Amino acid sequence: MKKWIILMLCLLLAVSCLTGCSKDTETEEQTEQTEQTEQTEQGQEQPPAEELAGQTLIVYTALTESDPAYAAYVEQVAKFEEATGATVQVSHYGENLPLVLDTALKDGSTVDVFEVETLSQLSTRTTYAMDLSDREGHSNAYPILLDYIKSLSGGNALYAVPYGANVTALWYNKAALEAAGVSGDVASVEDFEALCDDLVAAGYQPMALDSAYIHSNFGIHMERALGAETLTTLATAGGWADNADAVKALQTVIDWVGKGYFDENAPADWPFSQLSLADRTAVIYADMEVLAIAEEMIGQDLQWDCFPYPGSSNTVKVDCGGLCINAETQVEELAWQFVDFMTSGEADKAVCEAAGTIPNDVANVSVAYAGAQKLLADAEGICDAGAIVKQGADLTDVLKALYAGTYADGAEAAAALDALY
């Protein structure tokens, strides 16, 4: 009898142990599931939204085989295919954007991702683009570019992820400054004038300037002194002579011409101003595409850095392309993964370095254009002052005369501008 009692007690104990172990296991599983859920909610361990292997993505890009970045682009597309198991069909529309891309967009499902070279191209194609605002947190793009793209829709929708920024600034040939024994560390008008004085003393005519860029040069000079709002008023309605700050800023240009800060042939016909960067000039207000053109014409690679045009305003002139997702795509997740892949990490760095543009990903430091990246990161707004100058009367002849040293003082130059209205 005792043996049976002992046996029953052992069975009860065993069942109790099994039940306890089961509860402990369930508790551990529940805890693990809770932790995984919390990690997912916090964005620490996001599982893939869907299986991408076997899907096909149709991409339209402006690149063609003649572009410097073409090979890098194709290589990164292949890496994306390898990583996802998806197939990417790329159409290279080149300069035939209205004919090729727009025709494809009107067909709807024949495009999943499309690229625009400039944001002005984006502004006329937003009806085809998906709003990526809810995806914005995955992008490492410069905030100022994201905000600018949003401004195209009134500040709400994000119709593209910026791609390949092109910054306009005062670019200088580092070798020339080193030869002159001066630094490109410029933070004020006084610093800029001291730099130019040192370059003149070393035998340089500091700034290249051709007639194709006089509006851009004049615009940024006046925007720095007056602000974009005042410049817009003067450019569209006149009244230069009645604005003391405008007269003073015009006088500064005249003083710089007199001190020999500009190339003796300025404003020269294009491309002679760029050619002067090979020897007698060291600085040019231009975008990064002009630098590449200058190097090609000169026949040598130059080492560039830049600083912002001096003055009280802290805006930057920049344009960039954008990667957009067609609002009618049937492979939205695959399309986003492609956009995210190409605008971040190694793919972003490789393609932008090959193209000579600034990487989209702020973590990608460009060896050649680190100065421009800093301008982009520090800027408080985006402004195309050259475009503002062109809004009203045609100032071309007066601006040519201004940079040629025709006017005796700022008051005379202001009167000449007002006479055009």
Same domain? 344 vs 212: no
At residue 309, the pLDDT reads 95
CB contact burial 278-301 (16+ within 10 A = b; e otherwise): bebbbbbbbbbebbeebbeebeee
At residue 399, the pLDDT reads 98
Same domain? 136 vs 61: yes
At residue 44, the pLDDT reads 33
Same domain? 118 vs 245: no
Same domain? 219 vs 341: no
Q: Which amino acid is at 181?
A: G
CA–CA separation, 419 and 207 (whole Å) = 29
At residue 98, the pLDDT reads 65
Q: What is this structure's pTM?
A: 0.82
Q: How many domains does the chain have?
A: 2
At residue 100, the pLDDT reads 84
At residue 139, the pLDDT reads 66
At residue 178, the pLDDT reads 93
Same domain? 254 vs 341: no
Same domain? 114 vs 71: yes
pLDDT per 10-residue tile (average), the chain, 421 residues: 36 38 41 40 40 94 90 97 96 74 80 90 89 78 92 86 94 93 92 96 94 95 97 98 98 98 90 85 93 88 92 92 94 96 95 93 88 93 96 97 97 98 97
Nearest to 199 by CA among 185, 183, 220: 183
Same domain? 264 vs 332: no
